[in-house]
Amino acid sequence: MSGMPTSPYREDLIKAEILAMTGSRPLNRSEIAARLGLGAATVSDHTRRLIELGFLRELPPQIAGRGRPKVPLEVVPDAAYTLGLRVHPDHLIGVLMRLDGSEVRRFTRPFRPGEDPVGQLAAACEEVLADPAVGARVLGIGLAVPGVIDPATGTVRLSPRLGWTDLPLRPPLAERLPVPVLIDNDTRASTAGELLFGTGRDHDDFLVLAIGDGVGMGIVLERRVHRGPAGVAGEFGHVPTSPDGPRCVCGRRGCVDAYVADYALAAQAVARGLCEEPPSPDRLRRMAEDDAPGVRALLADAGEILGRAAAGVVNVLAVPALTVIGESHVLWPYLTPGFQRAVDAGVIGVLPDLEITVRAWDDSGHARGAASLVLAASLAA
């Protein structure tokens, strides 16, 4: 495999979806075709290639009634791995993932974004690749980075939390590492994971709402992650809500991010006199559980702003489902009253009720998404 595609960014989601589907349970070609809405010949072509690669295998035929026996297919989980890294302002989280989406291992390393980031990232990847038990099976490496990312060129256009502007990250990493490298926004990476291993199993069109140190949105339309020109789509946190609102990390005022991101909630808690020191999301959750004065109202207000903005996206795209991810998902029970009120009032009546799923989350979530993302790109190379 010579390398990841460059521009335009390409994926082979059909092959990746087949691996994801057969990882949960064996399926025959007819079942795969029905689920993906594809013709029998197309499915046969893709499954034949996956079998040739050793990623998929046939099980004994199943004979049921008349007609040709059905041949179930199942993924070979350890035939290949993908490595995903989530870049935080002070540490890296890495996940080595099997073809069925399960984890081989995860690790954490300190990280200093202002001190030779390429060297630090390369060293973390090289340590995994040097392991004789797994290194030869790594198809590629995905990096999930907060901010505005152009995945076609591998450039970090703007990442306020990391202090990076127009940083060409992928080219020097690709020169140093022996496997393909892909870089994308952290929320979009997790959206690819949801498409393959989560919400995408039931829906072809949906949104992923990420709330944590920032607010992001992943968009899936007709089973494709929408990226937009130069990878800018999905900057939901910077939807303007009020010109007189609090200042956002992007420099503007009144963005969704400036009301709902964890730093914004902490600042508002202090400004409202609810606590003396900026609270973490977990502390805010505990305060809300204890019904500390004013905390539930603060979170309901933030939820209403979030819901009003989300309702606008739902109206434009007519998606039936939304999945909530991110470090601040623990606050969702207290964001929900305001969010649901705004969605009920804002989504037009001809659309179905929005199905909302809250995904259990931990610090490795975006790293798993990056590993999922690189699987599809690797199969397209």
φ and ψ at 305, to 5 degrees? -60, -45
Are 235 and 127 part of one and the same domain?
no
Are 137 and 211 part of one and the same domain?
no
Q: How many domains does the chain have?
A: 3
- How does residue 331 score in pLDDT terms, banded at 50, 70 and 90? very high
- Which residue blocks in 37-131 are alpha helix, DSSP H? 40-53, 117-129
- Average pLDDT score over residue span 155-175: 93
CA 279/CA 275 separation, integer angstroms = 8
Give the model confidence (pLDDT) of 223-245 as tens digits.
889 888 777 788 899 999 988 99
Are 71 and 83 part of one and the same domain?
no
Joined together, the tokens standing for residue 307 give 């819901």
Helix axes 40-53, 13-24, angle to 10 degrees: 80
Give the model confidence (pLDDT) of 265-316 as tens digits.
999 999 999 999 999 999 999 999 999 999 999 999 999 999 999 999 999 9
Q: Give the angle 64-67-73 at the CA atoms, nearest 5°.
A: 65
Strand, helix or coil at 166? strand
Q: 130-153 burial by CB neighbour count: b if 16+ within 10 A, else e? A: eeeebbeebbbbbbbbbbbbbbbb
CA 107/CA 94 separation, integer angstroms = 5
- How does residue 10 score in pLDDT terms, banded at 50, 70 and 90? low
Q: Domain span at residue 370?
A: 78-192+365-380
Mean pLDDT value across the chain: 91
Q: Could you give the C-alpha distances from 162 to 111, 166, 295, in angstroms and in order?
A: 10, 12, 30
Q: Which of 76, 96, 119 is the last residue of a domain?
A: 76
Q: Could you give the C-alpha distances from 145 to 78, 88, 366, in angstroms and in order?
A: 27, 8, 9
Do the domain assignments include residue 7? no
Among residues 307, 286, 277, the alpha carbon closest in space to that of 211 is found at 307
The residue behind tokens 């076609």 is 152
Is pLDDT of 68 > 80? Answer: no
What's the CATH code of the domain at 59? Answer: 1.10.10.10
Give the model confidence (pLDDT) of 122-162 as tens digits.
999 999 999 999 999 999 999 999 988 998 899 999 898 89
